[in-house]
Structure 1
Amino acid sequence: MRYSNYTIDIPSGATIREQIENRGMKQKEFALRMGLSENHISRLINGQVELTQDVALRLESVLGIPVSFWNNMEVIYLEKLKCIEDKDDMDIKK
């Protein structure tokens, strides 16, 4: 999660973490079901890697939440992140 004087952006990973916790899954089990490494899942949850179309498809398969939800969430996150970076840059130039 990243904060600015203007907005807060929450990576898709926060929602993924919430979903796997609500299902009583451990990260290791989730990684196995997703067919991804635990390291990649950790980085995804912590917002260190972008949520790709492939991952969105896997999330739909494992969690039952539509690809469109994940894609929209990622687009919104990246837009807010860019907005925060732009505003931070403007503040630095002042």
Structure 2
Amino acid sequence: MIKNQNQIIFHPGYYVKEFLDETEMSQCELTKELNVTERTVNQLVNEKLDLTDSLINKLSSVLGTSKTLWKNLNTQYLKDQSKIKNSH
């Protein structure tokens, strides 16, 4: 999550962390479900990793969401992040 004077933007990892909290699934369990490294999941939920097409496909499959949802969340986050950085 990034805040500036006029807006708050949420990294896609924020929503993954919310999912984990709501379902009481551990990062380790998600790692196995996604078939990725623990580091990948940890960086994602700590908002330090941008989504790749591969990760988008895996998230949509494991979490029962659309690929479009994750693509849009990632694209919007990157756009907003760029605007905030360029405004300083």
Query: TM-score with structure 1 length normalisation?
Result: 0.88
2:62 match: 62
Q: Give the alignment of 1:21-32 within 5 angstroms.
A: 21-32=21-32
Q: Which residue of 2 aligns with 1:20?
A: 20
Shift of 1:37: 1.0
Unaligned runs of 5+ in 2: none
Mapped contact 1:7–1:84 kept (Cα < 8 A):
no
Superposition RMSD in Å: 1.0
Q: How far is the alpha carbon of 1:13 from its aligned partner?
A: 0.4
Q: CA shift at 1:46, angstroms? A: 1.4
TM-score, normalised relative to structure 2: 0.93
Matched, 1:46 2:57: no
**What is the DSSP-based 3-state SS (H/G/I as helix, E as strand, rest coil) of the residue aligned with 1:48?**
coil
Structure 1 outlier segments of 4+, above 3 Å: none
Counterpart AA for 1:84:
I
Distance 1:11 1:81 in 2: 9
Alignment correspondent of 1:10: 10
- Give identity over the alignment, percent: 25
Deviation at 1:28, TM superposition (A): 0.4
C-alpha deviation, 1:21, in angstroms: 1.9
How far apart are 1:20 and its partner, in Å?
A: 2.0
Q: How many residue pairs get matched? A: 88
Partner of 1:92 in structure 2?
Answer: none
Deviation, structure 1 residue 41: 0.5
